[in-house]
Structure 1
Amino acid sequence: MTKQDDKRAAVKARLAKAPSPTARTEVLRAHLLRRARSKSPTWIDELAELASECDVEPHVLRATVSTLAWQARDVGQSLPIVSADDAGPASTRELCRRYLHGFRLRFDFRFEALGAQVPVWLKADPDDALFLALSGFAGLGRQASRALRDVEESLESPNADQVTRNVCLHALWFGNDVDGQAERIIRLSDEMINRGEDEANLYFWRAYAFRRLERFDEAMVSIDRAIELHPPGMNIVHQDYVRERALIATSKLVLAQVAMHARQVSDELRAEMSSQLESAKAELRKQQEDAQKVVSDSLLKIVEILGLFIALAGFLVGSGVVAFRATGFWQNFASMSLVLLGSVLFFGLLRLVIRYRPQRR
């Protein structure tokens, strides 16, 4: 038995004794980590062999591939060749290669390439929750129409697990055009936390969602939790967390400043509107007073004119009686002169009343 065979046998023994899926994932990760960080992707074939020989559960296989795929990407390892055959379910070896290929495209945000590849895999394994999640990830990264449906189908799939839910959460992070994006992220992250599936990236995406909803205190708690859970190394990821924290703090400060200025502007506008309203009321009162004065003056003129007409009528009646009773020429002449003089005086007074215009104060 060779040294390699001894190692393989030891790994199988540890897998058999591992008390939980998490422990089995750690056994496989520790065994393959060094090779995953080499330049060759052949480690994926050994993983497939171990998975077949030891009946490794699908969620353990996905978790192992996900962890090691990140390590392979970190050292610039080439992508494995995957089969284009979609006739029936893939073998364990081919399935591992497809998982690795999908994770690598996801980590590089190659939405177009992933979107072209995943439909082929789904033809062979239409119920695979990871392929559905990757399809949703690629679709939301490109704002594709049915991407959200793929995410929902993955979450509802009976073979969904922590890895597939994590991919769905990552996909929603890109769904800026999805209605209720932030609420969906928080709801899914709540479910995962309740399942004990919380990890650093979950809190990072959760912090983003809280920030979008302007719930800055909760966002700060989440991003601090992400930083706390982030393992040593991967400084680029750590920098993303720090930038998100700065965005939360800045957004909170900016919103507070905007609210303060809005209150100031509102107070100034309220004072200005109140001043203009009082001015308008004063002008309206003045116009009402002027209108009332004009009406009063007009009524007074009408009364004066009526009084003059009544006086004229009385004068004419009296003068007529005097003229009627006159017996001589001079009496008739005096009576007619009196009537003429009274008429001239009446028309003079009438013209004076009509022309009178009281001066406004």
Structure 2
Amino acid sequence: MSDAIETITGREWPFVLAETLRDLDATWQESAEVCTHVAWRARAAGHSALNLLAPEHVTDSSLDPVIWRAYRHLYLSSLRYDFRCRAIESLMNKVPVRVLDEDPYSEALYAFARLGQSRSDGLAVMHRVLVAAPDNPKTLHVLLHGLWLGTLLPGRAPTLLALVGLLPDGGTDDPIALFRMASARRSLGHYPEALTAINHAIEKLPPGDPAVHADLVREHALISSAYDIAQHARANRSNTPS
């Protein structure tokens, strides 16, 4: 299915994709897998779903359920990549509550919107997602993204590390998971461990994604700077007469 989707171009691609998923009677997991990937690639190519779909595609419950879910996944994922948390929250507040019970990925995006604004009530939404889909990598990555963005959340760094541990192989082969891990380690002041994680992330990142590579390099610079400052502060304290 993904090979066919890669060939979709033009202004009709979100509608063609949604109809393809309907024809295949895709599950929410399959829809999340495909739509997340395609939304990212389309955005990078300058053909974001936000320019082709309307907010009404997210809120119109009269649509075929699989098609409606695909529109929701495409549009909200595209908002997520643009860090537009309030827009996601506003749209999801207009979606029937039953949708959250049937589609943990949409609920994860709702959690992202609240977590990304450093709203602690997003943690309750996050826990509901973890109960409904405790081992789905796509929902876990959405939650990780929200926690990473929500700098002022209580217990943010330990929670990030705990979520990374739920990914396959503890996230050790996943460059984005390692990136989140490095950020959490930096927040905790675990600089050598943070540097190890970000170095592994850079090594494992596939070629052809310069924007993500730039994010990883930026995190490496932040860790290195924080580590240098901590070492200088420690040296100054040891040289200060008691």
Q: Note the residue ranges of structure 2 that are not aligned, 5 or more in a row.
A: none
So what's the TM-score if we normalise by structure 2?
0.89
Structural mapping, 1:228-243, within 5 Å: 228-243=203-218
Q: Which residue of 1 aligns with 2:43?
A: 73
- CA shift digits 1:52-103 (9 cap, x unpaired): 333333212211110000111112222413153347x961111101100010
CA 1:86 to 1:60, structure 2 compared with 1: closer, same or farther past 3 Å? closer
Separation in 1, partners of 2:167, 2:3: 25
Count of residues paired in the alignment: 236
1:261-294 per-position Cα deviation (integer Å, ceiling 9, x unaligned): 01111xx1x2xxxxxxxxxxxxxxxxxxxxxxxx
Give me the CA root mean square deviation: 2.2
Which of residues 24, 49, 55 in structure 1 aligns to 2:25? 55
Give 1:160 shift.
6.0
Select the structure with the greater relative contact order (CA < 8 A; seq sep ≥ 6).
2
Q: Tell me: CA distance 1:83–1:203, structure 2 relative to 1, closer, same or farther (3 Å).
A: closer
In structure 2, the CA distance between the partners of 1:211 and 1:196, relative to structure 1 (3 Å rule), is closer
Counterpart Cα distance in 1 of 2:96 and 2:167: 25
Letter in 2 for 1:151: M
CA drift of 1:218 comes to: 1.3
Structure 1 runs (4+) deviating above 4 angstroms are: 195-198
Task: Map 1:147-166 to 2 at 5 A.
Answer: 147-158=122-133, 161-166=136-141
- Matched-pair contact (CA < 8 Å) for 2:119–2:153: no
Residue 199 of structure 1 contacts residue 229 of structure 1 at CA under 8 Å; is this kept in 2? yes
Task: Report the Cα distance in structure 2 between the residues aligned to 1:101 and 1:47, rounded to whole angstroms.
Answer: 13
Verify the 8 A CA contact 1:86 1:123 in the aligned structure 2: no
Contact 2:120 2:153 in 1 (8 A): no
Q: Which structure shows the bigger proportion of residues in helix conformation?
A: 1
Answer yes or no: is the 8 Å Cα contact 1:122–1:131 preserved in 2. no
Q: Percent identity?
A: 28
Matching of residue 119 in structure 1 with residue 93 in structure 2:
yes
Assess, with a 3 A threshold, how the Cα gap between structure 1 residues 57 and 249 changes in structure 2: closer, same or farther.
same
Structure 1: gaps spanning 5 or more residues = 1-27, 271-361
Amino acid of the residue matched to residue 43 of structure 2? R
Larger Rg: 1
Work out the CA distance in 2 between the residues paired with 1:120 and 1:46: 25
Q: 1:190 to 1:223 in 2, by over 3 A?
A: same
Task: Give 2:181's match in structure 1, choosing from 158, 181, 206.
Answer: 206
Q: Is the 8 A contact 1:129 1:159 kept in 2?
A: no
